[in-house]
A and B are shown apart, each in its own frame.
Chain A
């Protein structure tokens, strides 16, 4: 399977040139870009690890790309995403977030069904890679 979180997950993996173009767009909007990584891609895992702080003062897409590359070098088999924060009143949130690195093999998720009262089922989503493996040992890093 392919985890399809992020703005561009249905497209073929973006090239570095394409990633740079998106970062350039985000910087042109005045947004601050950051890089995050995780080996727990559960749909409700909000807090991926931060690869440093959001780059509030860096306005050069080439510099951001260097950070992306450094993060990839350190975590080649993790999910890595680029996010862009808008500090405008009324937004103050992410305006763009897309995956720029993913593990070679994505085993995906199992839907755990707990049969409860009557016909109701309590659902849990469990990652095949995460279950039973501690952080850092999930995708063969």
Chain B
């Protein structure tokens, strides 16, 4: 085991292993104020996992490749991140979980940009590692309290919308590109009038030649208000304000507010600082902030390299979004049931309990940061309502794009099918019925008086997306002996 060098020996000019420089401390007990990062490291052949973990700790905090005497002008022992635990990943040769603790003075308060510049800034290209993945992080309440958190949160969102006790329903306007603003607004109106709560711009709908943003906003708000008058409900359309500059995003957000929209949206690709700015703007302007996770699949999907989506969920709850797409389990996009349930817990729970099966490595008190509403979107339809409710719970937005707009009898019928399905399933669940087993029967009962639901169930009855997940847990439940 590497012993940390001390005094003059430690600061002799030249290169010494990271583990001897103080970036590995086997007996370190994290302080209650430390931030902890858990990395999955895959060292190159012949590289000692402890040295690899120490290198990650070093390069994500104070170290450079060689000894520098200027360390001695600082409280270097405090600022050095410390790898303190390295465990082999069960069933994965050559992979290790490395726990690294960081003093909270290493980070500027309230800044995801500063946090990530350290934690993922330099280390992912490190030659001594084949690959590296940030699996989970722990944040002490003292640090969390420096973040605004969700601009609105689940509680205030439901109160503003006056909608309780069931998942909210949405749809993304399709086709996602090419509609004129007038035709686009038609889809919004039909879907909202039919029973959806929200319609949504897609991630890449910004201000293209076929539909400029102001034109879209004006027609969408006509549709939203018409639908609200037709139903007596509060309705909304996520107006995507994503643009090339921060100034332009704010300009679009201001116009959305002027038109009376209850919600705007941005894409993850705008970057952490832009997301925090928009969250602040939304907090100041009574606006709900929807985040589409555009681009995340480039770094979240593979188990050996990148960032787990659960970490993105934590950062986004701190950054202050109100909605984030977080998987469906049953739809067309990646999502192992255990992993997705972990993401949902990260977004919604006030306190997280360590749950290795779901990929939650730390107990985490969220320090009263508001709850984020997860969004399930991509290849889901009314026939899966019992599964969706079972896996995702009721505090979720179910988005049926194709599953609304693709209904043979029209968009309004598609929306009605989804709304009836969700209300019937909630009613049955509350009455104590076993929805996972009786789900199809419950839907058929409702279809007897709601023909749009019957048509939807018939059309999509065999549609499933049954592929193996790539982002899965590393721990399986241990069988109780003798059970």
Contact = CB atoms under 8 A, between A and B. Distances in A.
Decide whether A and B are members of one complex. yes
Interface of A: 1, 3-5, 7-12, 18, 21-22, 25, 41-44, 46, 83-84, 89-98, 108-111, 119-121, 123, 125
A93 B231 CA distance: 24
B416 A123 contact: no
Interface SS of B by simple majority: helix
A118 B191 CA distance: 28
B228 A125 contact: yes
11 contacts: A3-B233, A4-B232, A7-B166, A42-B232, A43-B228, A90-B371, A108-B230, A109-B230, A111-B228, A120-B259, A125-B225
B164 A123 contact: no
Contact of B164 (A7, A10, A89, A110): A7
The 8 lowest CB-CB distance pairs between A and B, nearest first, are A3-B232, A96-B165, A25-B430, A111-B229, A123-B225, A7-B165, A109-B229, A90-B350
A91 B420 CA distance: 26
Interface in B411-445: 416, 419-420, 423-424, 426-427, 430-432
B255 to A, nearest CB: 9
* A contact face: mostly helix, strand, loop, or mixed: loop
A97 B164 contact: yes
B352 interface: no
B168 to A, nearest CB: 11
A116 B477 CA distance: 63
Contacts of A123: 221, 225, 260
B182 to A, nearest CB: 12
Contacts of B250: none
Given A3-B231, A4-B232, A10-B420, A121 B165 contact: no
B471 interface: no
Nearest to B415: A10
A95 B368 CA distance: 19
Contacts of B185: none
Interface in B201-246: 218, 221-222, 225-226, 228-234
Contacts of A46: 162
Contacts of B423: 7-11
B359 interface: no
A3 B218 CA distance: 25
Which of A5, A22, A43, A110 has the largest number of chain B CB atoms within 10 A?
A43
Interface of B: 155, 158-159, 162-166, 195, 218, 221-222, 225-226, 228-234, 258-260, 350, 368, 371, 416, 419-420, 423-424, 426-427, 430-432, 446, 449
Contacts of B226: 111
Contacts of B416: 10
Contacts of B446: 11
A50 B223 CA distance: 33
A6 B400 CA distance: 21
A49 B107 CA distance: 51
Contact of B229 (A18, A120, A125): A125
A90 to B, nearest CB: 4
B427 A120 contact: no
B225 A10 contact: no
Given A18-B427, A109-B229, A111-B229, 4 more contacts: A3-B233, A108-B232, A109-B232, A125-B229
Nearest to B224: A123
A7 B426 contact: yes
Given A21-B430, A95-B165, A12 B449 contact: yes
Contacts of B259: 120
B446 to A, nearest CB: 8
Given A10-B419, A11-B427, A108-B232, A89 B350 contact: yes
Contacts of B218: 119-121
Contacts of B165: 7, 84, 94-98
Contact of A21 (B225, B368, B431): B431
Contacts of A9: 423
B385 to A, nearest CB: 13
Contacts of B155: 90-93
Given A4-B231, A109-B229, A125-B225, A11 B162 contact: no
Contact of B430 (A22, A90, A109): A22
